[in-house]
Each structure stands twice: as C-alpha cells, then as structure tokens.
Amino acid sequence: MEEMPRPDLPQLLVIKPPGLFNYGDPFAAKFAVLRAWESPLPLPRFLSDHARSAPALLCSAATRVTAAVLDLLPSLRIIVTTSAGLNHIDLPECRRRGVAVANAGEVFSDDVADAAVGLALAVLRKVSAADRFVRRGRWAEEGDFALGSKLAGKRVGIVGLGSIGLRVAKRLEAFGCPISYNSRTKKPSVSYPFYANVYELTANSDILIICCALTEQTHHMIDKSILLALGKDGILINVGRGAIIDEKELVQSLMQGDIRGAGLDVFENEPNVPKELLSLDNVILSPHGSVIGPGRVDHGAIPLNGLVAF
C-alpha cells in the first residue's frame, strides 16, 4: 500500500529518485515526501492530484523541469537539484514564476575532477582494452598487447575553468602537463594561458577536457572542425554534458581515426549510447553519475543556500 505523507510536515515532491540522495529517518522526519515514481498514475495526473500544494521539488539531472511541469505545481517556491548542472531546469520560467533554484555547488567537484584524470589515463594507457585482452585469453594466445601512451607532459586544454576545471588543472600539474584553457572570461587568479577561441585552444592541445556547462552557446560547440583541430593523436574527455559535443561527428571521427580516442562520462541522449561506440577500443564509456562517491549523499551535504535563480 502506498504510504500517505504526514499532513503536519511540509511537502517535498520528488519525481524521480535521485540515486545519490539518502531518504533516511532524519530526512523523513522533516518532510512529507511525495514520491511520484512510486505512483501508478501518469505523472501529469499525479502532479495535479497530489502535488499542487507542494512548495519544494527535489530532483536530479535526470528530471526535466519544464514549463509544463511548473504549470502543474502552482505552489512551488523552490527547486533543489542534486546536480551541479542546471540545463534540465527551465530557469527563465522559474525566474518568471518566482521559483528559487539551488544546485549542489562544489559538492561533487573533486569526484568529477578525479574522473576526468582517470578517463584520460584510461584512454592513453588503453586500460579497458587491455583488461578485455587479458580476460579473453588473448595475451597467452597472441603475445604482447599494443603499447599505450603516457600522460606526463601532454598539453592539456580545459574548456571551462570553473570549480571542476580548476581542480582538473591542479591534478594534471602533478603529471607535468602544460595547462591552457578557454572560459567565458579570462581568470585573473590563474597563470595558465587563456584562449578566447575554442578552436585555437584545441589546436594547441594534445588532450581536450570539457568541463563547462551546457547552454545555448555551448550546445554542439565541439563540432567537426574542433575534432579535426584536435588531430589524429588527440584525446577528447567529456565530464560536462553530452550535448556539448556533436555526438554524430564524434562517432565518425573516432571510427575514421581523426582523433586517437575519447573518455566519456556523459552522452547526448542518456542513458542511450551510440551503438558504434560500444565496439571501439579507443573509447572509455562511463555511466553519468557513477564517478560520484563514496556511497550515497546525505541530505545535509547538499547546500540549500546556493540559490542561483529567482
């Protein structure tokens, strides 16, 4: 039987269960959680029947908060997302309606930066391909595995030198990698070379790491021309959002050898991944969000004072 929320507690709507969030006893004692995903009703019907008085919505990047959803939530006053990115939320509509929005801030920045470096190492050293080579018995049958390449000394271009991008840069300094970057504006607090043009940054990089947010300006920013500028020895790493890269062009570039390889934690149509990528040994694939850890995040770890829109 579906559990009824307590009427004496403020309602909190959750459309899909954020996988990193802990619905433990302390949390349940403070909120009457409306778990839309547990209801047999279609989402619009559930929202109309049960969530019209809910003042708060908790979501992850997997939940699209559109104008149509907001229409069904007339009492909504705040949205808290467990992600750093906000492209799944209609921010202009939230501003128009006076709905505040808060994100996870820098809670996951270290984890994502670790993942970016790990993906770069995995692509260069052919970690996944080597693992498959051993597991399938090919080492004993065929002999030595093809050599990989070192990370040390590689020129790294970072697109988006924010909380995550800066942490990536600091980690790669330890590998002796020259760092340069592109961002909306030049950062006066850092000494890395700045490129106002992503093409020029790419042309001067061996590894291009995408750490920026997905916006109208960055959608498909990494297109065929950028991939060609990266070159046949270039590596592309994406820990931003999938749609920053023109995925069809990336698939073609990898299959044709226009770039050496890619490490991808995000995809354009998650959880769907282009089938062509599944058979390529020069690509490392990671399901978005799996890089976060350790364990599940307690509700106290998400900063509710990081309001970013009104």
Q: Which residues are catalytic?
A: 241, 270, 288
Q: By CB neighbour count within 10 A (0-12 exposed, 13-18 middle, 19+ buried), where does 184 fall?
A: middle
Nearest to 114 by CA among 36, 32, 72, 171: 171
Closest among 269, 266, 225, 274 to 248, alpha carbons compared: 274
Q: Bridge partners of 238?
A: 210, 264
Tell me what percent of the chain is helix, strand and coil, each rounded to the nearest 5: 35, 15, 50
Q: What are phi and psi of 67, to 5 degrees?
A: -60, -35
User: What is the Cα–Cα distance from 104 to 210, expressed in whole angstroms?
Assistant: 19
- 3-class DSSP assignment, residue 180: strand
Pairing of strands 56-59, 78-81: parallel
Query: What is the C-alpha to C-alpha distance for residues 193 and 186, in angstroms, rounded to an integer?
Result: 9
